[in-house]
Structure 1
Amino acid sequence: MFDQARCWIDGSIMPASEAKISVFDHGFLYGDGVFEGVRFYNGKAFRLPLHLKRLQRSAQALQLAIPLSADELAQAVAELIAASPLSDGYLRIIVTRGVGVLGINPTTCQQPSVIIIADQLQMVSDAQRAQGVRAIIASTRRLTPDRLDSRIKSLNYLNAILARMEANYAGVEEAILLNDRGCVAEGTADNLFIVSDGVLLTPPATEGALAGITRQNVLELAVANGIPAREAILTPYDLYNADECFLTGTGAKLIPVREIDGRKMAECPGTYYQQLTQAFSTLIQQETGG
């Protein structure tokens, strides 16, 4: 299952089958840590500096000192990709609080740990990507910024996992989370876009969405391709009446949505989705030499 996976753990590279962390690591015990997901193509990490900047911001919000500089992390990523049998794949960069005694007090953890995993990740099948996925609006709500800001990409994903379980029970591929005011936040592991009256819309991060890097790429590509685009507060009503809908994320890339709560989109895959998917593929080729 993990034959091609390779790991970098605090300076050492090994096959995933040999990777080990302490059971007293607070990342394992309490989800005390942060992470980033990064795609690599043709042996090159895509937009790594942006991911490392977001990693640092997440860590800063948790008062977690990353023991490596951005340049050192980039070097570790390059070494791991070189050791991987994959030319295209997915990286998970993890910083944990480190080993400490039982109990949630982070001051018992003296040295944060850095773990990087290189493997494959396919969030949907090719057939699902071609025809679009089905989604429900979950009863699970996204936490508010005064509880846990969605811009912190922490190791605790229980909120999203509970929503994904709802999707599983409903027999669909994705769930969409609302915030405490009933406005749209995002999917379980991806940002959400809709097209309404010719305008591309996505919820702002302050509504409970991750400040996604692919999300930002898509907004920039929309402007470059003459597509009107902006952030907007959305409700389920807006989703039900959208002309098209799609999800974005490093793991997801771009995935079209064909149905939400049984309401079918007017277009799937939609015109804007197809245009932006092509523009995103071109961007990857330009930056990684594919």
Structure 2
Amino acid sequence: MKIWLDGKLVEQEEAKTSVFDHGTLYGDGIFEGIRFYNKRVFRLEDHMDRLYNCAHYLLLDIPYTQEELSNAVCETVAASGLNDGYIRLVVTRGVGNLGLNPFNCKRSCVFIIADKISLYDPDVYENGLALITSSVRRNRPDTVCPQVKSLNYLNNILAKMEAVRQGAAEALMLNDLGNVAECTGDNIFIVKDGTVFTPPVTDGCLDGITRRVVLEICRELQIPAQEKTMNRFTITCADECFLTGTAAECVPVTKLDGYQLGSGKIGPVTARILARFQELAQTTGTSC
């Protein structure tokens, strides 16, 4: 496997970073998860815009232009030999000393991986996913901003651990007010009386790229959709529910904490959205 590391493609065994990198020492860095289908990168520009916005917020200098890094993504995809796969684009603060001060790091480190990924068993996409509600609350937006896709995922990992220990593949995360934020790696949507609802980013969820695509699909298919603050009660009373994320794509949900959601099967609105998403993913994107 070839890895793009700081400007060149190297073999996986040669793709090494320093133990003094602040990405390793402190989780100081950002990343993007990106999908490609039929050797076309899906929503590449949106992902790159978010990456550079996050870097700006963290005063993290990326030593490549957005165009150069987009070309590097395509170069990595081409070198992978895969038709479909997942891209992990990572920017770390770079090498510094053992102190916390990020301004001691002279140059950030950038690497890109193109590989396969599978978050859930294939039958989940047919039969639906069962969630638990995590006791781990989502970070407050005024502490660690959820709009920053940072390398520090400890908050989400703790919730994921809780789900796995309870025999579930995914966990619903609430914010400090007890309202729904997101799941450990996915945005959440429900359908109630024909309308699609999802929490606003101000409630602690990531402004997911797939989330944006779903809202666009709703407008295209003339399905009413809106952002709305929701709690656990709202989810348990939903007619339909599904999750979205770049790695997960679109995943139907049929249970929460043992409650059956709606019919307990993939609902008609969810099915329409999932079908249109797959069509867009397979037919659009940046060619590599």
* TM-score bin (small chain): over 0.9
Q: 5 Å matches for 1:1-290? A: 5-267=1-263, 268-288=265-285
> 8 Å contact 2:160–2:184 — kept in the other structure?
yes
CA distance in 1, matches of 2:276, 2:12: 34
Deviations 1:161-188 (CA, angstroms, capped at 9, x unpaired): 0000110111111101000000000000
Deviations 1:113-155 (CA, angstroms, capped at 9, x unpaired): 1111111111112112211111011000011111011100000
CA distance in 2, matches of 1:19, 1:114: 11
Q: What amino acid maps onto 2:151 in structure 1?
A: L
> 8 Å contact 1:161–1:188 — kept in the other structure?
yes
RMSD: 1.3
Deviations 1:212-249 (CA, angstroms, capped at 9, x unpaired): 01001001101111211000000000011011110001
> 8 Å contact 1:6–1:119 — kept in the other structure?
no
* Pair 1:216–1:94, CA change in 2 (3 A): same
Q: Among all aligned residue pairs of Structure 1 and Structure 2, give the percentage whose two residues are the same amino acid.
A: 48
How many angstroms does 1:199 deviate by? 0.8
Number of aligned residue pairs: give it.
286
CA distance in 1, matches of 2:17, 2:267: 45
- If the length of structure 1 is used for normalisation, what is the TM-score? 0.96
* Pair 1:152–1:264, CA change in 2 (3 A): same
CA distance in 2, matches of 1:119, 1:241: 38
CA distance in 2, matches of 1:14, 1:256: 38
- If the length of structure 2 is used for normalisation, what is the TM-score? 0.97
> 8 Å contact 1:31–1:154 — kept in the other structure?
yes
The alignment partner of 2:207 has SS state of: coil
Q: What amino acid maps onto 2:276 in structure 1?
A: A
The alignment partner of 1:140 has SS state of: coil
Higher mean C-alpha displacement, 131-140 vs 263-272: 263-272
> 8 Å contact 1:42–1:289 — kept in the other structure?
no
CA distance in 2, matches of 1:246, 1:16: 35
Q: What amino acid maps onto 1:44 in structure 2?
A: R
Q: What amino acid maps onto 1:38 in structure 2?
A: I
Q: What amino acid maps onto 1:63 in structure 2?
A: L
* Runs of 4+ that moved beyond 4 A: none
> 8 Å contact 2:41–2:286 — kept in the other structure?
no
